[in-house]
Amino acid sequence: MSLRDGFYPALGTPLDENGDFIARSMRRQIDLMAEAGASGYLVLGSMGQQPQIKNSEVIKVVDTCVDAIAGKAPVLVGCMDNSLARVKDRIDALKGSKVDGVVLTTPFYYISPEADLVNFFKKICGFSPLPVYLYDLVYVTKNKITYSIVKALMDIPNLSGIKSGDLVLMRDIEKGGDKKDSFDLLFSGTELFEVAYGYGITKQLDGFYTCIPKTTKNLYTALAAGDKDLSARYMNDMNDIRNHCISVGVFPAYTVGLNALGCEGSFHPDYYLPLGDESREKTLEKFREAGEI
């Protein structure tokens, strides 16, 4: 399977005060993304709090998303963990769920030599019945997915792509002469979406899309039309909101944004404090300025 061009939102996972999944809120989020024109979806990525979700809720999240999307777009599922055995457990739990691939970071507890990271992904591809997508998230995992790692893995039949915000890495893969046609590049560097698009990297994956559906739709309409001035305007709106959210606390601000769009629940780690009144109002004002609410 090769993914089509366009944007792929990493869905936030709505939880109640007990950490239980709120299915109706997820369906609302998916409806917003479908209306915006999403080409596919990542469930239980980093923005979806994958490492923090209770085991009892994981398959509820996956099956709700698969049911809501109803085969209209591919569904990828985050299965990140710190050992082959734990990753296998996560992938095995998906048996019977109609998903289209699994997404995996490097292990994020130990600092690992490159040869061991290659072995990690080779072993996973060997036991995974689903397509495998790499997720380069070095600022969290501290283990970088390099071009040499990707090159060493490229011949594996079910290795299907990579998500990364490293534009140099993505260009190296694209231009290096080793990339197979079925290997998808999913760019996640929010500040450089326009640049990547201009280089021909026309698949983007990010969690921030979900709280700015109108801006996202407008941005990709302008990009598809080749309107650089208009796309720059919407990129500025996207980055303005994103930078504000980072300044006040990205996950609690993300919760404020999604709640304002009618997606109830918490989208931030359960030990995070909510935004204070002043920060919350400033956050809502940013979303109003962009026309999202």
How far apart are alpha carbons 261 and 291 in whole angstroms?
A: 11
The sheet with strand 159-164 has its strands ordered as: 6-9, 203-206, 184-187, 159-164, 132-135, 101-104, 75-78, 41-43
pLDDT exceeding 70 applies to what percent of the chain? 100
What is the per-residue pLDDT for 200?
A: 83
**Structural domain count of the chain:** 1
Buried/exposed 236-249: b ≥16 CB within 10 Å, e otherwise:
ebbeebbebbeebb
* CB contact at 8 A, 48 and 207: yes
Q: Is residue 30 assigned to a domain?
A: yes
* CB contact at 8 A, 196 and 167: yes
Domain span at residue 131 reads: 6-226
Mean pLDDT of 19-35: 98
- 189-245 pLDDT, tens digit each: 877 877 788 778 889 999 999 999 999 999 999 988 989 899 889 999 999 999 999
CATH number at residue 24: 3.20.20.70
Residue among 62, 54, 49 nearest 98 (CA): 62
Give the dihedral of Cα atoms 253, 231, 203, 41; nearest 10 deg. 40
- 122-180 pLDDT, tens digit each: 999 999 999 999 999 998 999 999 999 999 999 999 999 999 999 999 999 998 889 99
What is the per-residue pLDDT for 199?
A: 78
Pull the structure tokens for residue 227: 């309107």
pLDDT band per the 50, 70, 90 thresholds, residue 79 = very high
Pull the structure tokens for residue 146: 């390099």
Q: Is residue 246 assigned to a domain?
A: no
- 243-274 pLDDT, tens digit each: 999 999 999 999 999 999 999 999 999 999 99
Q: Is residue 271 assigned to a domain?
A: no
Pull the structure tokens for residue 63: 């099956």
pLDDT band per the 50, 70, 90 thresholds, residue 1 = low
Q: Is residue 95 assigned to a domain?
A: yes
Mean pLDDT of 37-45: 97
Q: Is residue 181 assigned to a domain?
A: yes
Residue 54 predicted with pLDDT over 70? yes
> How high is the mean pLDDT of the chain?
95
Q: Is residue 105 assigned to a domain?
A: yes
pLDDT exceeding 90 applies to what percent of the chain? 90
